[in-house]
Amino acid sequence: MGAVNNDLLKTPLYSLHEELDGKMVPFAGYLMPVQYPLGVMGEHNHTREKAGLFDVSHMGQVVIKGNNADKWLETLVPGNIIDLKPNRIRYSMFTSEDGGILDDLMITKRENDIFMVVNAACKEQDIAHMRSNLPDHLELAELNNRALVALQGPMAAEVLARFASGADEMDFMSYAEVEICGATCLISRSGYTGEDGHEISIPAQKAIEVCKALLSEQEVEAIGLGARDSLRLEAGLCLYGHDITEDTTPVESALIWSIGKRRREEGGFPGAQIILEQISNGTITRKRVGIIPSGRVPAREGTEILDSADNVIGVITSGGFGPTFGGPVAMGYVDIKNSENGTDVFLKVRKNKLEAKVSATPFVPQRYYRKQK
């Protein structure tokens, strides 16, 4: 592995992962911890029960600044960004002219600019896409000098509030700038586990100090990518490159909730004609659904989905064992006539044909913090 690893990037938290005895694996060009000694199951359960700290510094943090940045960004994404209030966050995606998804991302409208978090494997392509499609007056900067971590779980906000008072009173999908250990951190009440919590952007040189401070709180454990995957799968959240790709539209992906009413009326984003046609006329042939295998056998990515007559009607795009759910869970695409919740389907796992049901997601209820109005 040594020779391979030489080409891999390290996050500002690399030495902390080593100190914590993280098992480092290549992921999206980075050497990332897939698990720590607690193990995937233990880390998953700890996050659901208390609080877990994840290094997600491999993801891209990008800022766009300039007149009408929100209006211009809307030419690349179907989300309603113009009407987003300052310090509020929206989930959206870059779409292609064919209506496919180039990447999914979090967009934060700040007082004077727009802050985005994009997927690690897509960040260079996303930045090139924005540079070539946005006008020159907009300044685009990647925040290479910042780590990004997620603190997730039912006790996460309470822990963070010990360092940044009021963090626990922020609404879901809101943003603030706070001081933690003397460092200016950008915190977002969001995450990708289905749990309450924050994502925290930290100046690289202070990242280890801040993370050590968070980890010294008794509720917090370091969590690797293995548990991040099982947590997001149970929460019904899509993994780019697997559940959503250039070949799936937001309609097929069951993400039309992320396309605002005004955008559906006005269009004006790449692939709008195809996507809006699919919304208004229901002209899709397949759809992303949740799948619950009835036994104990997990169905992994690539597993064929069959009907009772053995016709291939779809494919699993993410699947594994859900520790909190207590059994295997998956998501995938099935033809539209088999996409109703409760439909009986079969999974071709090795030589076996296993029973399964199309099911609503999330598999484990999401527990985001909604502020009382």
Partner 1 sequence: MTIYYSEDHEWISVDGNVGTVGITNYAQNALGDIVFVEVPEVGDDFAKGDEVAVVESVKAASEIYSPVGGKITETNGELEDNAALVNSSPDGDGWFFKINISDSGELEGLMDADGYKTFIAGLE
Region of residue 153 (phi > 0: left; psi between -120 and 50: alpha; otherwise: beta): left
Among 162, 296, 337, 353, binds partner 1 (CB under 8 A): 296
Contact in structure between 290 and 93 (CB atoms under 8 Å): no
Would you count residue 240 as binding partner 1 (CB under 8 A)?
A: no
Piece in contact with partner 1 (CB under 8 A), picked from 14-22, 39-47, 52-60, 136-144:
39-47
Is residue 9 a contact residue for partner 1 (CB under 8 A)? no
> Which letter does DSSP use for residue 30 in this model?
E
* Pairing state between β 88-95 and 101-109: antiparallel
Residue 300 in the binding site for partner 1 (CB under 8 A): yes
If one asks whether residue 131 binds partner 1 (CB under 8 A), the answer comes out as: no
Nearer to partner 1, 69 or 291 (CB): 291
Looking at the DSSP assignment, which residues form a beta bridge with residue 113? 65
- Work out how close the CB of 321 gets to partner 1 at its nearest, in angstroms, rounded to a whole number: 4
Q: How far is the CB of 150 from partner 1 (least distance, A)?
A: 19
Residue 183 interacting with partner 1 (CB under 8 A):
no
**Please, which residue, 230 or 339, has the CB nearer to partner 1?**
230
Contact call for residues 211 and 56 (beta carbons, < 8 A): no
Q: Where are the beta strands (DSSP E) in the chain?
A: 23-27, 30-35, 51-55, 60-65, 88-95, 101-109, 113-118, 139-142, 146-152, 175-180, 183-188, 197-203, 220-223, 286-293, 304-306, 312-322, 327-335, 344-349, 352-359
153 is a site residue for partner 1 (CB under 8 A): no
- The answer to whether 320 contacts partner 1 (rule: CB under 8 A) is yes
Q: 310 exposed, middle or buried (CB, 10 Å; 0-12, 13-18, 19+)?
A: exposed
Closest CA to 125 of 97, 94, 151: 94
Q: Does the protein bind partner 1 through residue 3 (CB under 8 A)?
A: no
* Nearer CB in complex with partner 1: 81/329: 329
Is residue 350 within the footprint of partner 1 (CB under 8 A)?
A: yes
Closest to partner 1 by CB, 195 vs 234, is 234
Q: Does 65 bind partner 1 (CB under 8 A)?
A: no
Nearest to 221 by CA among 57, 60, 45: 45
Strand, coil or helix: 130:
helix
Residue 33 interacting with partner 1 (CB under 8 A): no
Please select the residue that binds partner 1; options are 34, 176, 256, 279, rule is CB under 8 A. Answer: 34
Sign of the CA dihedral with 142 first, then 128, 56, and 102 last:
positive
Distance (Å, rounded) from C-alpha 339 to C-alpha 350? 24
Q: What is the size of the binding site for partner 1 (CB under 8 A)? A: 18
Tell whether residue 44 is a contact of partner 1 (CB under 8 A): yes
Q: How many CA atoms lie within 13 A of 135 on its CB side?
A: 11
Give me the 197-236 binding string for partner 1, x by CB under 8 A, dash otherwise. -----------------------------x---x------
Binding interface with partner 1 (CB under 8 A): 34-35, 39-42, 44, 226, 230, 296-298, 300, 320-321, 323, 328, 350
